[in-house]
Amino acid sequence: MKIRKGDMVQVMVGKDKGKRGKVLRVLENGRRVTVEKINIVKRHTKAQNEVKPGGIVEKEAPVSISNVMLVDAKLGRPVRVNFRVDEVEGKRNKVRFSRKHDATLD
């Protein structure tokens, strides 16, 4: 996957365009991501017990992975990601790299 849990991403399309956040989880075979403090929705919940009262809860909803771009930590800018296979001591490793600057991201 080009975007993984824990990556910093920037939203490129939609109501939260330009905002950045950390990926909390990747859903549905890599098609959607949940990003911290992005795409906040309100859900009305029923009281479960005395510990969990009911009310209106705000939480992050998933966004399409095509609407976000990975932010390169070194550049501080969103970059397109590709994969390549590097050989280190006879072992082949699949790594992510920035297409524009040809720098390894992992």
Q: In which band, very low, low, confident or very high, does the pLDDT at 105 lie, cut at 50, 70 and 90? A: confident
pLDDT digits (tens, 9 = 90+) for 34-56: 999 999 999 999 999 989 899 99
Per DSSP bridges, beta strands 20-27 and 40-45 are unpaired
Looking at residue 30, its pLDDT comes to 82
Contact at 8 Å (CB) between 71 and 10?
A: yes
Question: Domain 1-71 - what CATH class?
Answer: mainly beta
Parse the chain into domains and list their residue ranges: 1-71, 74-106
Short-list 41, 1, 58, 43, CA closest to 25: 1
Inform me whether the pLDDT recorded for 71 exceeds 90.
Answer: yes
Better-predicted residue by pLDDT, 36 or 101: 36
Pick the residue with more confidence: 74 or 44? 44
Amino acid letter, residue 83: F
Would you say 23 and 38 are in contact if contact means Cβ atoms under 8 Å apart?
no
pTM: 0.87
